[in-house]
Amino acid sequence: MQANMIKIRSLETKTQALKVELAKLQKQQLSYYHALLSEGADCRQEGLIWVIKVIWHLGADVQLDKLPRFLDAPAVEFLFRVLSLLLHNSRGSTQKWESAVPSSKAH
């Protein structure tokens, strides 16, 4: 019984360390993808849309101040509308994504 408790504690300690490491890696990923977004890097065939989808997939919000400076308010709104349509077609629901579409009044 005591040996099992020691194993359980050891596994819990290892699990906690892995959770901390995972959180650190996810933070680094988000930082990397926001940097790509800020640079306006044309990734894969979908360009900025792909970068934004990856950020959302990681469970984070897109930081609008990280969008490329060369995008004006109508371009940003268009980008998020295209994303909304793409996600609507692939998932059947746009509820989460439509709430992420910035209003042109916010710019």
Using 50 as the pLDDT threshold, list the residues of the chain that sit under it.
93-99, 101, 103-107
The confidence score (pLDDT) of residue 107 equals: 39
How many angstroms separate the first and last alpha carbons of the chain? 63
What is the rounded distance in angstroms from the CA atom of residue 68 to the CA atom of residue 41?
Answer: 9
Q: What are the CA-CA distances from residue 47 to residues 36, 44, 94, 101 (Å)?
A: 10, 6, 21, 18
Instruction: Return the pLDDT at 87.
Output: 82
pTM of the full structure: 0.69
Q: Which two tokens stand for residue 17?
A: 């360390």
Q: Give the pLDDT score at 45.
A: 81
